[in-house]
Amino acid sequence: MIQIILYTGIILLSWSLFGNCQQNKADSILISISEKEIIEYATKLTSAEFDGRLSGSPGYLKSAQWIASKFEEWGIKPMGDNGSYFQYFDNAYTKVFDSGSVSYQFINEKVNIVEKKYHFPEEYFPGQNSGSGTIDGELVYVGFGITAPELGYDDYEGIDVKGKILVFEYGLPVNGENKDIEKWVPYDYHQYKFKNAIAHGAIGWLYINKLANPNTSYNYDIVYAHIGDEVVNDIFNASGKNYKEIRENIVNNLKPNSFELIGKVTITANTKHFEDSKSCNVIGMIEGTDPTLKSEVIIIGAHHDGVGNLGKLLPSALDNASGVVDIMAAARMLAQSPVKPKRSILFIMFGGEECGLLGSTFYVNNPKFPKKKVVCMINLDMVGNGKGLALWGGESYPEISKHFTYANTHFIRRTMRTSEARPVKTRPRTDGAVFTMNGYKSFAIGTTDGVKPVYYHHPLDNVDALTPDIMVDVAKLIYFGLLGVANDDEL
């Protein structure tokens, strides 16, 4: 019964959103949402003006200003530092001026010495925190680049890498199911691998996994790049090694297998590091209308930083202009909605996610509301490609997620998948995980059944990689779901 009363206002509203009932024109303008609006925001965020929104860079800060200007236009209250929308934190970044170069000199089948130059983005990506300059040298494969004596594992044992260029793997040789996974996690960080390589005397490296990644450390004298299958296969084939088999054996036996490779590599990078730069979260709020309940807050967030520009713009559309746009459209509707929330709703557009979850970590350490007053935190990351909807982790908080499933069943009618929240045992990969680890109820809204190819951390992650119709529905889902939670008297 209470449920029915609770939704009455929203159902009436849904008629004005989706139905044909008569109403005045102003209302229909205020609470409608279109693909046009979605595309407009997404086009702006992914434009060259914001230079790929690398956290801490001038382009990022400009995009933060733009979001804040929209919040202000819609009457959303600033909740950052000193009455502004911005919550600042330290965020060093590296400007990459061009895509640099990677080439490999080796002896081919015809016993000729050849030099093969590779292409960005097809075969390699420049290191996003590479030092500037050119290095050349001999190559050593060091597996996962890990020295973990307490786990009886050392990729550097018995091999001299001083003055060499290393080739090593992303990730860990174990997965989340391993009984010692928690002990392995510190070795999963790129920053750790870089430090360990430097400690062993390397001058640079080729990191196996071809993508843009600012979540690394800058080291003045080190030059590095990320490589894909083509480069890996060339190097291993020229050395008479079967790459796939070698990697599989390391993982299956948990036994390092490091060795010198044949040939020489040259890597060039053209960069400048900005050590003292700052980035920010953009925070706005719609204050609740109930004198008591307004002290309780629902947080919804998405990272709005991207992976910048590597000599080619990385528009960072699906990851994660999509999440930001979904929330912006919902925030605009909520701000202009005739149905008002009793509880408060806090919108956080995080910075520094791609640099290692810096913005969300800073927020949980410097919250704007006491944790016990936060009903839940809902995260959106890569939410704009597909046909279905999802509430990842939502099953663990049915009292909250039921409002979203209800909205979908009654108004949106997409297939919706749900799952239970899982404890974070591996390296946290999303802002939502940072909230979970800090004791918040957190779940994620997602899109499923992708209809377009996903270009993760790639120049082709542009507006064409989005499906605006699902984003319209995600914005509606947020709008109805948040109103349901905010006005639930039983919570």
Contact by Cβ (8 Å): 101, 196: no
According to DSSP, residue 74 is labeled T
Nearer to Zn ion, 64 or 203 (CB): 64
Nearer to Zn ion, 135 or 327 (CB): 327
- As measured in angstroms, the least distance from the Cβ of 479 to Zn ion is 22
- As measured in angstroms, the least distance from the Cβ of 448 to Zn ion is 16
Amino acid of residue 66: W
Nearer to Zn ion, 165 or 324 (CB): 324
- As measured in angstroms, the least distance from the Cβ of 137 to Zn ion is 34
Q: What per-residue string of b and e applies to 308-321 under the rule 16 or more CB within 10 Å gives b?
A: bbbebbbbbbbbbb
How many residues bind Zn ion (CB under 5 A)? The answer is 3
Compute how many other C-beta atoms are within 10 angstroms of the C-beta atom of residue 249.
13
Amino acid of residue 398: P
Amino acid of residue 478: I
Segment contacting Zn ion (CB under 5 A): 88-96, 358-366, 377-385, 435-443?
377-385
Crossing angle (nearest 10°) for helices 229-238 and 243-253: 100
Segment contacting Zn ion (CB under 5 A): 182-190, 317-325, 409-417, 479-487?
317-325
Tell me: does residue 326 bind Zn ion (CB under 5 A): no
- As measured in angstroms, the least distance from the Cβ of 354 to Zn ion is 7
* Pairing status of strand 124-126 against strand 223-227: antiparallel
Nearer to Zn ion, 234 or 461 (CB): 461
Tell me how far apart the alpha carbons of residues 249 and 257 are, in angstroms, rounded to a whole number.
8
* Residue of the chain from 123, 169, 234, 319 that contacts Zn ion (CB under 5 A): 319
- As measured in angstroms, the least distance from the Cβ of 195 to Zn ion is 25
Element (H, E) at 207: strand 204-208
Nearer to Zn ion, 318 or 345 (CB): 318
Q: Find the angle CA(37)-CA(42)-CA(45) to the nearest 5 degrees.
A: 130
- As measured in angstroms, the least distance from the Cβ of 324 to Zn ion is 10
What is the strand order of the sheet 204-208 is part of? Answer: 113-117, 101-107, 259-269, 133-141, 165-169, 204-208, 223-227, 124-126
By the 10 Å C-beta count (0-12 exposed, 13-18 middle, 19+ buried), 278 is classed as middle
Nearer to Zn ion, 209 or 237 (CB): 209
| DSSP codes of every residue in 100-156 | -EEEEEEE-TTS-EEEEE--TTTTEEE-TTPPSEEEEEEEEE-TT--EEGGGTEETT
- As measured in angstroms, the least distance from the Cβ of 300 to Zn ion is 15
- As measured in angstroms, the least distance from the Cβ of 236 to Zn ion is 31
The pair of three-digit structure tokens given for residue 103, joined into one six-digit string: 């080439």
Nearer to Zn ion, 130 or 320 (CB): 320
- Alpha-carbon dihedral angle through residues 5, 9, 12, 17, given to the nearest 10 degrees: -140
- As measured in angstroms, the least distance from the Cβ of 319 to Zn ion is 4
* Residue of the chain from 37, 123, 296, 381 that contacts Zn ion (CB under 5 A): 381
Segment contacting Zn ion (CB under 5 A): 308-316, 333-341, 376-384, 466-474?
376-384
* Residue of the chain from 271, 320, 344, 447 that contacts Zn ion (CB under 5 A): 320
| DSSP codes of every residue in 349-409 | EESSSTTTSHHHHHHHHS-SS-GGGEEEEEEESS--SSSEEEEETBTT-HHHHHHHHHHII
Segment contacting Zn ion (CB under 5 A): 34-42, 258-266, 313-321, 453-461?
313-321
Segment contacting Zn ion (CB under 5 A): 269-277, 314-322, 331-339, 365-373?
314-322
Nearer to Zn ion, 433 or 486 (CB): 433
Q: x-or-dash pattern for Zn ion, window 247-276, by CB under 5 A? A: ------------------------------
Segment contacting Zn ion (CB under 5 A): 83-91, 163-171, 320-328, 462-470?
320-328
- As measured in angstroms, the least distance from the Cβ of 434 to Zn ion is 13
- As measured in angstroms, the least distance from the Cβ of 468 to Zn ion is 19
Q: Which residues bind Zn ion (CB under 5 A)?
A: 319-320, 381
